[in-house]
Amino acid sequence: MRPAPTDGAGLTRARSLPQRVGLTTSDVLPLGRKHAKTPQNGEAELAVTGDTSSDDALLGRCLTALLARAHLMRPDDLTTALEEESRALGIEQVRIYLADLQQRHLYPVPGGGSDPGQALAIESTLAGRAFQTVAVHQADGTVGETSSHRLWVPLTDGTERLGVMELIVDEITEVTLARCRALASLTGVLVISKSRYSDTFAQVRRDRPLTLPAEMVWAFMGPTTFATPQVVICAALEPAYDVGGDAFDYALLGDHLHLSLLDATGHDLAAGLIASVAIAACRNTRRAGGDLADIVAAADSAVADQFDDSRFATALVCDLDVGTGELRWITCGHPSPLLIRENKVVKELPRDPCLPLGLAGHDRAAVPGTRPPTHTEQLQPGDRVLLYTDGVVEGRSAVGGPFGQRRLSDFIIRHSSAGLSASETLRRLNRAIVGFQDDRLSDDATTVLLEWMPDDPQNRFTCYKPFDSGRHAPRGPDQPG
């Protein structure tokens, strides 16, 4: 049994780092290239200590040593290796926290010379604030009776939020922050690479066992967040530990982004098998060069060959040209996606009747070789397309009313307008969906948000961003200040 999450250190006394310490990618690579800046509006000038060229070389040696050790490193030894190699950088202590599958708590990864740490709530701790905003936060004051400082640094793999790192440093300077960000970036890559052959991190991320269908579906799906300067995809799925037949899949090949969202009938092992078979068929056909119609036909045939006509999956199969913004999709008995433009739902994207996956193969009236209709929509920069399964809008509260499409779209728009990233918006949407049904979901509920030509994705999804004095995590319209 896990210990109860705590409020963590420094929440109420937390202060944000001055803007002078905020860096962009150009500030970090290389560290030695600094630009003179004049403090404004009462900002305090932070001294940059030491020879910057020496700092650059020191960071390089640290990361090189970690990469060399990583080849033969056990996942359980990652924290120890980080502590040993980063001492020369002025980092006295390292602790890694990973978010659980529902992104409600941050759990410490075992290892290192310090105490094991406690679980931290994402909603009410400074560590959780760093996770929500993907920004470095500093606890107020010093650590104990020392002059050291505690930093909470976001831990990501690309733009996928994994957790946070707690770093105890001897001083706060631009160089220190650059080192911490670089160390966290490498740590995120190492956590993911070593997760391929170890259960260490998978165990940390679970606060209870997964059902067998959930174990199978999660193994098939990719990261819940992916971003480039041209496109962002974020996904959220509940019940995370007991998902049955919902699943999503995406892949970027050149200028084309493929995206599929599936909802298999039932909430049992067969539902997980249907979703897995359909995803495998989509990937297999896509990687062989098939178009949308080919993908749908292959997935339909694969499901029909293995299951009778009482088992099937609704699906949205999409292709976005990230260069031009042309979106093409085929709807297979699935709810239509919503087009959000300038924080308004412009329309529900059209759909023609098309049988769910697994039923066309059983349709005796179907004409062999008939291709399903493909729809097209020209997106504008900043447009968002919201895909969802029926469990999101059809879930009912204790008094019987459904969550509904209007409530869903309003939630996305209000929270995006409040400055939240797409990934944080969907994390909070998940909590709202589960809370609406009193933690007793009657069906899987999955949402996928696709955004073309997003506004400043580096600032929204990575920790390489300026940091305003007095900055606080956006709370959203449903949270108290």
Q: How much is the pLDDT for 160?
A: 97
- Name the band, by pLDDT with cuts 50, 70 and 90, for residue 464: confident
Q: Is the pLDDT of residue 272 over 90?
A: yes
Is the pLDDT higher at 361 or at 365? 361
Q: Is the pLDDT of residue 294 over 80?
A: yes
Pairing state between β 137-138 and 149-157: antiparallel
pLDDT in tens, 69-116: 999 999 999 999 999 999 999 999 999 999 999 999 999 998 866 677
Q: How much is the pLDDT for 32?
A: 33
Q: How much is the pLDDT for 22?
A: 37
- Name the band, by pLDDT with cuts 50, 70 and 90, for residue 10: very low
Give the closest residue to 214 by CA, choosing from 259, 251, 268, 265: 268
Residue 254 CA, chain-centre distance (Å), reads 22
| Range 410-421 average pLDDT | 91
Question: Where do the domains of the chain lie?
Answer: 19-204, 212-461
Range scoring the smallest mean pLDDT among 67-71, 146-150, 160-164: 146-150
pLDDT in tens, 28-79: 333 333 333 333 433 333 333 445 566 788 999 999 999 999 999 999 999 9
Is the pLDDT higher at 455 or at 286? 286
Does domain 212-461 sit in CATH 3.60.40.10?
A: yes
Architecture of domain 19-204: 2-Layer Sandwich (3.30)
pTM: 0.86
Is the pLDDT higher at 413 or at 400? 413
Written as one letter, the residue type at 292 is L
- Name the band, by pLDDT with cuts 50, 70 and 90, for residue 12: very low
Give the closest residue to 324 by CA, choosing from 377, 400, 268, 284: 377
pLDDT in tens, 305-341: 999 999 999 999 999 999 999 999 999 999 999 999 9
Cis check for the bond before 30: say yes or no (omega within 30 of 0): yes
Q: How much is the pLDDT for 225?
A: 97
Is the pLDDT higher at 55 or at 279? 279
Q: How much is the pLDDT for 473?
A: 44
Distance CA 234, CA 311 (A): 28
Q: How much is the pLDDT for 140?
A: 82
> Average per-residue pLDDT in the chain?
85
Q: Is the pLDDT of residue 142 over 90?
A: no
Written as one letter, the residue type at 298 is A
Measured CA distances, 481 to 18, 105, 123, 140 (Å): 22, 20, 12, 19
Burial class for 444, CB neighbours closer than 10 Å (0-12, 13-18, 19+): buried
Q: Is the pLDDT of residue 424 over 80?
A: yes
- Cβ count within 10 A of residue 60: 13
